[in-house]
Amino acid sequence: MHEIEIKNLSKSFVDKDTKVDALRDINITVDKGDIFGIIGMSGAGKSTLIRCINYLEKPTSGQVIVEGKELGQLNEKELREQRQDIAMIFQHFNLLQQKNVIDNIIFPLVLQGVKKKEAREKAFELLSKVGLEDKAKSYPSQLSGGQQQRVAIARALAADPKILLCDEATSALDPQTTASILTLLKEINKEYGITIVLITHQMSVVKAICNKVAVLEEGQLIESGRLEDVNLPEDKFFWLNKENELKNKEFEKAGIKEVRNYVG
């Protein structure tokens, strides 16, 4: 049994009188223990797809089956319970700025009814895992981007999820910090057996960490499979290079001379 099955999934949005097809007939399977990358440029439908996996976005049609359960058939209580197995980290960390590091990690555990002492012990264990034991009393504003993402990862792991969704989790980080976060994710995948699904526009991220990949373009699935089996010639990623060009033009307009590579 696949851990995640996406069958004939489509998602449309209606803005005034205009219908936008964000996803069209997507079929993907993710097995337990995979590090599955979903790659495409802005507007390809990546974020919509990953939000459909935990039903933060409900598909217009098709099925999302997680651990053998079709999410569309669950009631609200059952869906909340199923989501406890699915954690998510984001590009901009989503930490509570008014709470220190340890309280950020404890917060979701307390909401689940875990006793504060037990939650605190677990939070310190997770801080040790992500290498931030000395930052327990620091606030997010006092941390670097990489450190904030490590706190977000620790918080995501607090509820013992079986699946970790990463929404452009390294896009706001420099290359060196990105590499350290990817190493941490690989360690978590191996040590805890957590299935990881990440979306990215960076080819370097996919090549560094993923064993499987799906390519999205304009809401459609172009290719999917094991990384070594999927044909990814450079010309397939002309649109990623185009995105680099557009972003660098934005830098030039802002008077920033540094040229950056967003594809990796």
Say which residue the tokens 């999934």 belong to. Answer: 9
Domain assignment present for residue 248? The answer is: no
What is the reported pLDDT for 238? 47
- 190 and 69 in a common domain: yes
- 149 and 184 in a common domain: no
Domain assignment present for residue 262? The answer is: no
Domain assignment present for residue 254? The answer is: no
Domain assignment present for residue 106? The answer is: yes
For residue range 179-203, list pLDDT tens digits in order. 899 999 999 999 999 999 999 888 8
Q: Which residues does residue 220 pair with via DSSP β-bridges, in sequence order? A: 217
Residues 6+ apart with CB under 8 A from 123: 102, 105, 106, 109, 154, 158
Domain assignment present for residue 264? The answer is: no
Q: Quick one: average pLDDT of 249-264?
A: 51
- 178 and 81 in a common domain: yes
- 214 and 146 in a common domain: no
More confident residue, 36 or 42: 36
Please count the structural domains in the chain: 2
Q: Quick one: average pLDDT of 245-261?
A: 55
- 125 and 56 in a common domain: no
- Provide φ and ψ at 156, rounded to 5°: -65, -35
For residue range 206-248, list pLDDT tens digits in order. 889 999 999 998 899 999 999 988 876 454 454 455 555 555 5
> Tokens representing 218?
């304009």
- Cα-based torsion angle of the residue sequence 248, 249, 252, 254 in order, rounded to the nearest 10 degrees: -100
- 189 and 155 in a common domain: no
What is the reported pLDDT for 40? 85
- 75 and 167 in a common domain: yes
Question: Computed from CA positions of residues 246, 250, 251, 253, in that sequence, does the dihedral angle turn out positive or negative?
Answer: positive
For residue range 49-78, list pLDDT tens digits in order. 999 999 999 999 999 999 999 999 999 999
- 129 and 30 in a common domain: no
- 98 and 79 in a common domain: no
The domain containing residue 71 runs over which residues? Answer: 1-85+163-232
For residue range 81-121, list pLDDT tens digits in order. 999 899 998 888 888 899 999 999 998 888 888 888 899 99
Domain assignment present for residue 249? The answer is: no
- 199 and 139 in a common domain: no
Q: Are strands 195-200 and 220-226 parallel, antiparallel or unpaired?
A: unpaired
- 3 and 74 in a common domain: yes
- Provide φ and ψ at 120, rounded to 5°: -65, -40
> Tokens representing 106?
């404890």
What is the reported pLDDT for 123? 92
What is the reported pLDDT for 259? 45
What is the reported pLDDT for 12? 93
- List the CATH number of the domain containing 22: 3.40.50.300
Domain assignment present for residue 245? The answer is: no
- 145 and 66 in a common domain: no
> What is the Cα–Cα distance from 178 to 180, expressed in whole angstroms?
5
What is the reported pLDDT for 250? 57
User: Cβ–Cβ contacts within 10 Å for residue 63, how many?
Assistant: 15
